């Protein structure tokens, strides 16, 4: 299951991603967490020490390896240079599975042991001022998009992405890559404005979007969120002293998280489970092709000097069967 946490900066994406990841890990659900936020704080929120060598290697820096591995023997992708972030898999491409060893996870993932369970952590790598709005930013998030487009994930294994709700994720199609998107919103006008913008983009693509209210203090806050987002409001999380202690560098045992907030995490898990029923690999594949053609036309063909539409394998549909049982089309 591919799950995204998006929202305004400071709304609590990283905090709620990390709590959800801890919840899954404690339930012994295999989970890969990916930090794709502008501010790379997911590792710290999972208790990883702050010094540089504790952080996972930047996926952005591993793009050549990622492309080379995923390309496999796909004859439609003539070189890694012609592979862009939206290049879809086809016959001969290598696909990724959560929990399987592969050179990409070997190079990019770090095992983080939690007090209850463990998680594989990957990260786009830090964004600098000069990355924003230019190619580097795109290629850093693009590494995640490539992996998601080559991932065959089953029902009881999770990829959780902590992500910025930026325009890049709309242009590339990244926002359509998830079984369920949790939009984290504080009960403020700015928080719900991001929701409305996201909803607008999501509408045409059948993106499953639920709002998680955060830092909700009382009935007024709840009523405000209900008014603003209606039935899209899934659950709310209140101010957490547990989170505050963690921020002070003194993480309590996860089981000591406030009961109401634990219940909220169970609700997220149930919503994610339920989203499996609406998974549609055919649509998933069609959308990645749609965004690939769009990116090819708007910049990819010019950048690579090739006709990137030729990378599309018309007969290929991604699905979760083990690679070995696939029949050539
Ligand atoms: N439910 C909560 N209870 C207490 N503190 C919270 C809660 N949610 C977020 N915070 C705090 O708010 C700040 C911003 O949260 P963060 O998760 O980093 O936001 P984002 O990733 O969306 O930018 C952090 O200091 C975090 O600890
Ligand atoms: Mg963050």
Ligand 2 center from residue 123 Cα (angstroms): 12
Q: Which of 105, 118, 86 is nearest to 21 (CA)?
A: 118
Q: Which atom of ligand 1 is nearest to the CA of 9?
A: 23
14 lines ligand 1 (CB under 6 A): yes
Q: What angle do CA 135, 139, 145 make, to 5 degrees?
A: 140
Q: Is 185 left (phi over 0), alpha (psi -120 to 50) or beta?
A: beta
DSSP state of 112: E
The burial class, CB within 10 Å (0-12 / 13-18 / 19+), for 258 is middle
pLDDT tens string 272-302: 999 999 999 999 999 999 999 999 999 999 9
State yes or no: pLDDT of 52 exceeds 50. yes
State yes or no: pLDDT of 138 exceeds 80. no
- For 58, 130, 177, 229, 277, the CA distances from 212, given in Å and listed in that order, are 29, 32, 19, 10, 21
CB atoms within 10 A of CB 180: 22
- Within 30-128, residue ranges assigned H as helices are 42-45, 63-71, 103-108
10 lines ligand 1 (CB under 6 A): yes
Ligand 1 center from residue 214 Cα (angstroms): 9
247 lines ligand 1 (CB under 6 A): yes
200 lines ligand 1 (CB under 6 A): no
pLDDT grade, residue 135 (50/70/90)? very low
Ligand 2 center from residue 39 Cα (angstroms): 5
15 lines ligand 1 (CB under 6 A): yes
Task: Please report the domains of the chain, with CATH numbers, ordered by start residue.
Answer: 8-314 (3.40.50.300)
Overall average pLDDT of the 220-228 stretch: 97
46 lines ligand 1 (CB under 6 A): no
pLDDT tens string 155-193: 999 999 999 876 677 888 999 999 999 999 999 999 999
Return the pLDDT at 278. 93
Among protein residues, the one whose CA lies closest to atom 2 of ligand 1: 239
The answer to whether 160 and 20 have CB atoms below 8 angstroms apart is: yes
Ligand 1: residue of 4, 15, 247 to mutate (most ligand atoms within 8 A of CB) is 15
The burial class, CB within 10 Å (0-12 / 13-18 / 19+), for 329 is exposed
- The position carrying tokens 């009523």 is 223
Neighbouring residues of the ion ligand 2, judged by CB less than 5 Å: 13-14, 37, 39, 41
Ligand 1 center from residue 249 Cα (angstroms): 14
7 lines ligand 1 (CB under 6 A): yes
């Amino acid at each position: 299951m591919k799950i995204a946490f998006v929202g305004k900066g400071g709304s609590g994406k990283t905090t709620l991603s990390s709590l959800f990841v801890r919840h899954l890990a404690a339930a012994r659900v295999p989970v890969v967490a990916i930090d794709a936020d502008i501010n790379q704080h997911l590792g710290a929120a999972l208790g990883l020490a702050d010094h540089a060598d504790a952080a996972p290697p930047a996926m952005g820096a591993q793009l050549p390896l990622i492309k080379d591995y995923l390309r496999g023997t796909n004859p439609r992708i003539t070189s890694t240079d012609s592979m862009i972030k939206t290049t879809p898999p086809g016959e001969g491409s290598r696909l990724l599975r959560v929990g399987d060893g592969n050179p990409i996870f070997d190079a990019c993932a770090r095992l983080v042991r939690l007090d209850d369970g463990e998680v594989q952590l990957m990260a786009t790598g830090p964004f600098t001022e000069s990355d924003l709005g230019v190619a580097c930013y795109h290629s850093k998030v693009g590494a995640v998009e490539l992996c998601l487009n080559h991932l065959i994930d089953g029902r009881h294994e999770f990829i959780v992405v902590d992500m910025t709700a930026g325009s890049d994720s709309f242009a590339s199609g990244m926002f359509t890559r998830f079984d369920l998107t949790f939009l984290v919103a504080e009960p403020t006008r700015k928080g719900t404005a991001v929701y409305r913008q996201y909803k607008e983009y999501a509408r045409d693509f059948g993106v499953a979007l639920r709002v998680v209210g955060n830092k909700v203090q009382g009935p007024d806050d709840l009523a405000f969120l209900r008014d603003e987002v209606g039935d899209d409001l899934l659950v709310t999380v209140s101010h957490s002293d547990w989170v505050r202690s963690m921020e002070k560098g003194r993480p309590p045992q996860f089981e000591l998280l406030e009961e109401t907030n634990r219940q909220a995490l169970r609700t997220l898990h149930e919503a994610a489970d339920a989203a499996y029923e609406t998974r549609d690999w055919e649509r998933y594949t069609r959308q990645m092709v749609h965004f690939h053609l769009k990116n090819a036309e708007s910049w990819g063909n010019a950048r690579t000097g090739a006709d990137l539409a030729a990378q599309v394998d018309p007969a290929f549909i991604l699905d979760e069967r083990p690679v070995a049982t696939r029949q050539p089309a």
